[in-house]
Structure 1
Amino acid sequence: MSKRTLLTYFSSSSSSTPLENARQPKTQRVEFCASDIISDPGTRKPIDEYPFEIRDQVKRAYALRGPTQQSVGFTFPRTWQSGEWRSFQRHWFDTYDWLEYSESKDVAFCFYCYLFFESGKSDKWGSNVFAKVGIGKWKKALEKFDKHGSSHSHCNTRLKCEDFMNQRTSVSQKFVKHSKEEEIRYKIRLSSSLDVARFLIMQGL
């Protein structure tokens, strides 16, 4: 086989290898969108199903918005439970500030547990239920709310939410403080430069 034939053979073989012909998949950029924020807790996507890149943005948007609590005048549907017509009571929001209600499913959720409860952890008082399933049996609702509100898992998610928001606020405050300090230093430098310029003018330089 001649030298030219060998070169032709190897060049054609190398050009047809799957490694070179394979196209590398493009990594799509994940961006937060306001449409990701759903007011009804019964139709929201669980936090752990959001892409990791935007998870903090989603949490912050929900935290700034607060729990979904219907205004005065809203009529909660009644259902026949344990021999009586029962319904969610709006004044429960006054006692449990973390409580939110789903109109589509007629169940109650915990706002903090939705944002920060980690699936798979100890769940003695229903943090997973309050975060993803909801409570819809109203006969002993207050008892369930009390136990959940005082549980370690719930208190932990509340602290996480407060720390999360305080951390964001702290960063913003530090940025503002840093900007003000830079502005002061700039004014000092500008004032010094003007003083030097005036001195040189007076000296006829």
Structure 2
Amino acid sequence: MSTFFDEMKKSFADVPISDSKIDTAAFLEASESLVKLFDLLGSSAFAVVQKDMTGNINKIRTKLLADPSGAGTLQDLILSEAGGKTKTATQGLLWLSRGLQFTAQAMRETVNRPADELTKTFTDAYGKTLSQFHGMLVKPIFKLAMKACPYRKDFFEKLGADQAKVAEQLEAWLKALENVVKTIMDFFTSGNYGKGL
């Protein structure tokens, strides 16, 4: 029986990282697969999250296609734009990474707190991650999305019928996602590359 994770084009667990550098093409495929997770949450309120993430994926992909050697890893991509005026891909990566950080936090809270419903775990995760970067116009949209989360039981059933397999795959995917997000965020911090973006 296949699960949501079996059907992914690429899992974060399969994204190559060498010398702390993350392969851009694989990262983009894994990010696109993650965006589909919001379909399972079943609320149109999450469309804004998906649209934002997809827009940022496209900014990074445009850069990768234009400069395959200079943007082969996410770190190289950031460095290739660091000295220039245009930092479209870097900005896209920063915001996509924040979205991934929120998703990782939301899923981690959900896994670690089996008694809590998704409305609670996702709202808490939003407060710990994206909320600080959102202004007065965006916050209410996201808070509405969190309130529209499905029941925990229904969400996990959508991930797959074999719950033991789902739990195992979710943990492997989540650990890898958390590692990728930490690696990117640490790199942004190391050179203050996100300044003014």
- Normalising by structure 1, we get a TM-score of 0.19
Q: Which has the larger radius of gyration?
A: 1
Higher relative contact order (CA closer than 8 Å, sequence separation 6+): 2
- Higher share of residues assigned strand: 1
- Higher share of residues assigned helix: 2
- Normalising by structure 2, we get a TM-score of 0.20
